[in-house]
Amino acid sequence: MNAPYYADDTVTLWHGDCLADPTLWTSADALVTDPPYGVAYRSNSRRDTLARSIEGDQDTTARDAVLAAWGDRPALVFGTWRIPRPKGTRMKLVWDTKGALGMGAMDLPWKPAHQEVYVLGRGFTGRRTTDVLTYAPVQSMSRNGREHPHQKPIPLMRDLIAKCPPGTIADPFAGSGSTLVTAKALGRRAVGVEMDERYCEIAATRLAQGFLDFGEVTAS
């Protein structure tokens, strides 16, 4: 990673393995990331352009290595009940997806409609609110459908980042750039790393669009 894939006055995006040079992102002030969960994800989306799997999703090795490099500082980390929570988790937030998520086990009379967000470290600020965050996900088949299997909606990311301590936001699993786009729209500095170049391209395009992407309320 000799030069950033994208850079502007507030955001820097690197293309490569985030663990190859952790110094690129560990100097930030808060970590907000959606790592590979470790569930061997396979998408059933009908969109041929949406990836069927996630790099490094066979286990939690990548997640745990990143958190070890980050230490005990403030972090918000997406995950699932299907695997052990990160060491040092202080609280679990629930992202209520308004009934929209995967199919789940078809032999059960319930379907999944939430994901988990783990709170680690200290220093979070803002008004005290519920631990259930209700936002529609980015739909896969809509006009502005998701470009990444786990792409998170901007309003959800805004809610999370707004309560992070002041300073730079880091996302070592940047994906399609939702964390970086939201941080930029909130006037926060941010740094991200993404292994897959096609997602770097998507993230760079979103970041170059400026604040237009911040209006993703229903489509994302």
What local confidence, expressed as pLDDT, does residue 211 receive? Answer: 56
pLDDT tens profile 198-213 = 999 999 999 999 754 4
Q: Whole-prediction pTM value?
A: 0.86
pLDDT tens profile 141-165 = 545 566 767 789 999 999 999 999 9
What's the whole-number mean pLDDT along residues 96-123? 89
What number of helices (H) and strands (E) belong to the chain? 4, 9
Residue 45 has pLDDT above 90, yes or no: no
Q: Which region holds residue 15: left if phi is over 0, alpha if psi is between -120 and 50, else beta?
A: beta
Strand 169-171 with 132-134, pairing: unpaired
Q: Which residues contact 5 (CB under 8 A, 6 or more apart)?
A: 13, 14, 15, 194, 197, 200, 204
Q: Are 132 and 109 in contact (CB under 8 A)?
A: no
d(CA 132, CA 120): 17
Q: What is the DSSP letter of 84?
A: P
Count of alpha carbons within 13 angstroms of residue 105, beta-carbon side? 5
